[in-house]
Amino acid sequence: MIFAHDIPDGAKLYFGKKARIKRKIEHIASSVFENEEYEEIITPYFSYHQLEALGEKELIRCTDKENRTLSLRGDSSIDVIRLVIKRLKSEAKKWFYIQPVFRAPSTEIYQIGAEWLEGNLKEILKTNLNILNRLNKNYPLIISHIKIPEIVSKLSGVSLEDIKKQRVYKFNNWMKKLLVFNENSDIDEFPREIRGYLKEMLEFREFNPIYEPLYVASLRYYDGIFYRIINKNDIISKGGSYIVDNVRSVGFSIYIDNLLKDVNG
């Protein structure tokens, strides 16, 4: 029996203190974005092109009045860039949003996000960290590169799934060294095909990150450096670089529900 007050698994309900803390987080983020001259955008809940970002099984699908397939918004980044370029035709390059995305079967994920057309990943990372600093939060930052696992898989014959699952018994010696890669590692110990990408990762040493060259990203559109900010087993934020309609952009998302676990009112 489903009672009238039941809510689906994965759906969100905020009330009392938790609702106040959520509003506080969103207000601080909005203030940071406005100080850094970001424009706000709220995109439609429905989209035609979410498969460019996510897998089929992750999307909540339906149809429009002409029976064309669409889905609830599962990711905001690509829609934001396309709407700005093609519909708004705005000269503004920096945009932020505070809105949920939806994943099958019934999961709501509230996000604070930013996209910067033709922007700089280091600078938008600073914005991301600025928001967390305003909340008095300092979490581990992890830097990875989307290209490295793909190339390592081809060079070694180890599948991406084995790399993703960290089946170390299948790794050769230089792959094992990638697991402990840091700014003191000798890049010449690794195949020349990935040395340039490792050097790109080291360009972020000013942020004192952890390096995870073999991390396999779930989002489809990242094409270079990407990062994660974590707290224990929760992803607090992630961001990276990508190309949409021939425009290189950078962006990040903060996962409000994971942040709520660690922010007091």
Read off the pLDDT of residues 27-68 as tens digits, 9 standing for 90 and up: 999 999 999 999 999 999 998 877 777 788 888 888 889 899
Nearest to 173 by CA among 191, 198, 159: 191
**Token pair belonging to 203:** 């360009």
**Token pair belonging to 69:** 């397939």
pTM listed for this prediction? 0.92
- What is the pLDDT confidence band of residue 162, given thresholds at 50, 70 and 90? very high
- What is the pLDDT confidence band of residue 263, given thresholds at 50, 70 and 90? confident
pLDDT of res. 249: 94
Read off the pLDDT of residues 229-259 as tens digits, 9 standing for 90 and up: 999 999 999 999 998 888 899 999 999 999 9
- What is the pLDDT confidence band of residue 5, given thresholds at 50, 70 and 90? confident
Nearest to 47 by CA among 67, 74, 21, 25: 74
pLDDT of res. 265: 65
